[in-house]
Chain A
Amino acid sequence: MKILIANRGEIAVRVIRACREMGIPTVAVYSDCDRDARHVREAGQALHLGPSAAARSYLRIDGIIDAARRSGADAIHPGYGFLAENPLFARACRDAGLTFIGPSPDAISLMGSKTAARAAAIRAGVRVVPGTERPLDVRVFDEEVAAIAETIGYPIVVKAVAGGGGKGMRTVDEPSELPAAIRTARSEAGAAFGDTSIYLERRLARPRHIEIQLLGDGFGTVLPFVGRECSTQRRHQKVVEESPSLVVTPELRRQMADAAASVARAVGYTSAGTIEFLVDEDGSFYFLEMNTRLQVEHPVTEMVTGVDLVQWQIRIARGERIDIDPARALTPHGHAIECRIYAEDPDQGFMPSPGLVSAIRPAAGPGIRDDGGVSAGYTVPVHYDSLIAKLVAWAGSREEAIARMARALGEYQLLGIRTTIPFFLWLMEQPEYREGRYDTTYLDRLLQSRRGESFSRLAAGDQDLVTMAVGIDAFMKAHGRSQSGTDAAPVTHWLQAARREGLR
């Protein structure tokens, strides 16, 4: 087997690591601005795809299939994003005689339609959030949508049928807001997914977002894992994930795992996938959607179960049978937290902050995992999403994992561009986070209450230290490394000893 990774950034590096551990040769693909990217340097082979714009490189199905042919790869790992949930791509791989490391094209298409996925969940006997079961395309008048909304009951959420990542999603508290929400949801969905169809769901009062990772093989085995708590979201985008969830009892864990597995079985699911649920305050849970790919936050599951999900995706694609003990997958060992480090400036409303990474020294040490995608000298491009690294902390308990994450965030050095590290340092100190008192909108409320105060505000002593350091830095730059009378370059005792040795 030789695997071409049809992706870039941290996830391409992650897949290459799994392949190298398994002794499988790798092929990277890259666009113009990614020539010096880490995934290109760490793969065994690398082929140029085209210009930087994703539509002309990482999203080109024909270009990627051609790169696989030219490099001799016989399998393709799509990562997440880009073509990972495009059934045409999975089908094109199959038609070209390549193994697509993921589910079948049919499973991708079925679960890609949010209304079809809801119908599949209902057929599998799993509760869904009350809402419309059919897509409402442009031919459905706003008045008709409003009548349906009345039967569901406000507040409601308007969502894109082809949606994902919070795009084309609007919350509506009262009927008067509905027409505007329909308009913006349709327009965003059309721009992002080429499909303006929407559907409606009732908005739960204070739900948590908890999802179940699973693996399915070609022999009918579906293995659910302990859940991931993903309620820490900024504008519907996950920023921190952890496992296990504080509110999930062993009994609820079993129920959610069973529900997730029955949905996956109902659609004949293979490879890694995730079923997302909303969990109400009373512990009722509702199917939200299924992601038919590896998720960004898969490392937290790996850390608490010791199962390498990427390696298992590859083994399943090779035709192997899952032989993981189901109890191991469902029993969390310790606690893991992931922070998504984005190239965004938290002090400017999380504005993108692409640019040159002048130096990077990721956190390390006990219980820390850095899934990074950039290195010093690399320019984070404007063309793709802003995730540059995922920092994961594992410890025996949640409290220790939070302390470890705070330690690691303080240690992480990434110079030249702004990142969300200062925001995470702040979040780890918030009582709402530390006590796990949250739902999917608590972070937005918490951020609003800060009214733009800087996340990087220094303690008085630290400001003094930075001021002195900048002064000394300016002095050194103005005067060179040293003055007359001292060596131009400091000579260590070891070097002096080595010179004496050489003279002897």
Chain B
Amino acid sequence: MTVEIEIEGRTRAVSVERIDADHFRVVLDGEAHLVNAARVEAFGLSLLFEREGASSSEIQIAPGGAPGELLAVIEGRTVAVSVNGRRSRRGSLDGASQGAGERPVLAPMPGRVVRVLVGPGDEVAVRQPLVVVEAMKMENELRSPKAGIVKEVTVSAGMSVDAGRVLVTIA
């Protein structure tokens, strides 16, 4: 089985075959590895590379806040990953600054809209603040992913919003 994984801005293909209950043959960048993989705790995988000095690693993989997003943790560092094109929200936001066309600006976390700084038809610059959302006693300015025109504002001050909710659309 071949799996496409988006990680740190790259798309990487990895092929996984099961050898027996514990062992897998994993091919990454044309290199084959023998991996002894054990599930540990609810979300962890312990990997032993028995043909590579018996090196041992632990990686935790749990669902993130956004649909389709997984958060992987290794040695205290957390990265967002997605599998087989289930693009994470973070990925689509990162990609947004380059693209043309309509771009929705989403609430990155649940919270309360404190201020709406633009109205439909306004011209906005890239990174111009659009909406201020309060969460956890902090005010967070959400900025425009691109230069353009405000096509639609779907929230107003005082509204509670869930993560992933469209706040403003920039055309």
Interface SS of chain B: strand
Segment at the interface with A among B39-47, B96-104, B115-123, B146-154:
B39-47
Residues of A within 8 A of B83 (CB): 470, 474
* Residues of chain A in range 35-69 having any CB-CB distance to chain B below 8 Å: none
Shortest distance from the beta carbon of B139 to any chain A beta carbon, whole Å: 10
* Residues of chain A in range 461-486 having any CB-CB distance to chain B below 8 Å: 462-476, 478-479, 481-483, 486
Name A54's closest neighbour in chain B (CB-CB).
B137
Chain B interfacial residues counted at CB < 8 A: 58
Give chain A's interface residues, CB within 8 Å of chain B: 343-344, 348, 351-356, 358-359, 361, 376, 382-386, 409-419, 421-422, 425, 454-458, 462-476, 478-479, 481-483, 486-487, 490
Closest 7 CB pairs of A and B: A471-B14, A415-B62, A469-B59, A352-B136, A386-B136, A410-B76, A358-B62
With A351-B108, A382-B136, A463-B8 as known contacts, state yes or no: A422 contacts B21, CB within 8 Å: no
Name B84's closest neighbour in chain A (CB-CB).
A474
B16 lies within 8 A of chain A by Cβ: yes
Which of A456, A458, A466: most chain B Cβ within 10 A?
Answer: A466
Residues 72-83 of B, flagged 1 when their CB comes within 8 A of A and 0 if not, give: 111111110101
Across the interface, do A416 and B81 meet the contact criterion of CB distance under 8 Å? no
Of A354, A468, A479, which one neighbours B18 at CB under 8 angstroms?
Answer: A479
Across the interface, do B81 and A466 meet the contact criterion of CB distance under 8 Å? yes
Residues of A within 8 A of B136 (CB): 343-344, 352, 354, 382-386
Across the interface, do A468 and B109 meet the contact criterion of CB distance under 8 Å? no
Cα of A168 to Cα of B89 in the assembled complex, Å: 34
Residues of B within 8 A of A386 (CB): 136-138
Across the interface, do A490 and B21 meet the contact criterion of CB distance under 8 Å? yes
Name A422's closest neighbour in chain B (CB-CB).
B77
Cα of A386 to Cα of B7 in the assembled complex, Å: 27
Across the interface, do A355 and B138 meet the contact criterion of CB distance under 8 Å? no
Sample of 14 further A-B pairs with CB below 8 A, known A415-B62, A465-B59: A348-B108, A355-B109, A359-B41, A359-B42, A386-B138, A410-B75, A413-B44, A466-B74, A467-B14, A468-B14, A470-B72, A472-B16, A482-B21, A483-B18
Across the interface, do B76 and A353 meet the contact criterion of CB distance under 8 Å? no
Name B64's closest neighbour in chain A (CB-CB).
A416
Interface SS of chain A: mixed
B145 lies within 8 A of chain A by Cβ: no
Cα of A22 to Cα of B164 in the assembled complex, Å: 47
Of B1, B47, B60, which one neighbours A475 at CB under 8 angstroms?
Answer: B1
Residues of A within 8 A of B135 (CB): 352, 354, 382
Residues of A within 8 A of B24 (CB): 472, 475
Across the interface, do A412 and B140 meet the contact criterion of CB distance under 8 Å? no
Name B140's closest neighbour in chain A (CB-CB).
A351
Across the interface, do A351 and B75 meet the contact criterion of CB distance under 8 Å? no
Which of A383, A425, A463, A481: most chain B Cβ within 10 A?
Answer: A463
B63 lies within 8 A of chain A by Cβ: yes
A-B contact pairs, 19 of them (CB 8 A): A351-B109, A352-B140, A355-B65, A382-B111, A386-B138, A417-B64, A421-B76, A456-B79, A458-B74, A463-B79, A464-B29, A467-B28, A469-B59, A471-B14, A471-B15, A472-B47, A474-B1, A476-B39, A486-B20
